[in-house]
């Protein structure tokens, strides 16, 4: 069974970018929680499910389905997995914290939080017209990012695994964190 590293950060910080840049050279696979969950939910409902439906839907109810689907993927894989996820979901009705039990069930070996300049994150979010996100100011993004990092650190401590804070786009530090 493959080892799994968790990478969290606010939407727009560049998780997928830095993971994608490092994946080919480091020999791990990149799995996005939203893709896994979307496919599992689509299979269950026998219809297409989009990211917006996941973000606006029953976020906590989806976590059991995510754990099950991730477990199936993991059982088929021998390479290390970098699990690109959110530990706090930013919904139109506020933040929804993903419970520690979800990450415990995924059995992580490291928790990595990506951080970036809130103004840069806001600019990336504004340019990305392919995704719908709640409108936030740079100040709100800074607050959200602080919550995400604090929760990631807390979860790592409670899981007994290393916590690494990596700057957005810092591929070298990210690659070192994956090797934790």
Q: What's the pLDDT tens digit per position in 95-141?
A: 999 999 999 999 999 999 999 999 999 999 899 877 778 889 999 99
In the chain, at which residue ranges do the beta strands (DSSP E only) sit?
A: 4-8, 29-32, 81-84, 88-91, 94-97, 108-115, 163-167
Question: H-helix or E-strand containing 85?
Answer: none
CA atoms of 118 and 147, how far apart (whole Å): 13
pLDDT tens-digit profile of 23-66?
777 788 999 998 998 898 888 888 888 877 776 667 778 888 89
pLDDT tens-digit profile of 131-171?
778 889 999 999 999 999 999 999 999 999 999 999 998 99
Contact call for residues 13 and 168 (beta carbons, < 8 A)? yes
**Cβ neighbourhood burial of 134 (10 Å; 0-12, 13-18, 19+):** middle
Number of domains, the chain = 1
Query: Which residues constitute the domain of residue 98?
Result: 4-178
What is the CATH classification number for the domain harbouring 103?
3.40.50.300
């Amino acid at each position: 069974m493959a080892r799994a590293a968790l990478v969290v950060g606010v939407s727009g910080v560049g998780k997928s970018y830095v993971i994608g840049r490092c994946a080919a050279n480091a020999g791990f696979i990149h799995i996005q929680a939203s893709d896994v969950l979307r496919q599992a939910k689509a299979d269950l409902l026998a219809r297409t499910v989009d990211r917006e439906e996941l973000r606006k839907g029953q976020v906590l109810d989806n976590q059991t389905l995510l754990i099950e689907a991730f477990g199936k993927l993991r059982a088929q894989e021998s390479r290390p997995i970098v699990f690109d996820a959110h530990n706090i979901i930013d919904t139109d009705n506020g933040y929804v914290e993903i419970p520690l039990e979800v990450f415990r069930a995924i059995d992580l070996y490291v928790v990595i939080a990506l951080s970036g300049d809130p103004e840069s994150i806001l600019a990336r979010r504004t340019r990305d017209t392919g995704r719908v996100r709640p409108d936030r100011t740079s100040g709100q993004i800074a607050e959200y990012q602080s919550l995400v990092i604090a929760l990631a650190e807390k979860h790592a401590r409670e899981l007994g695994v290393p916590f690494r804070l990596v700057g957005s786009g810092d591929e070298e530090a990210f690659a070192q964190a994956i090797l934790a």
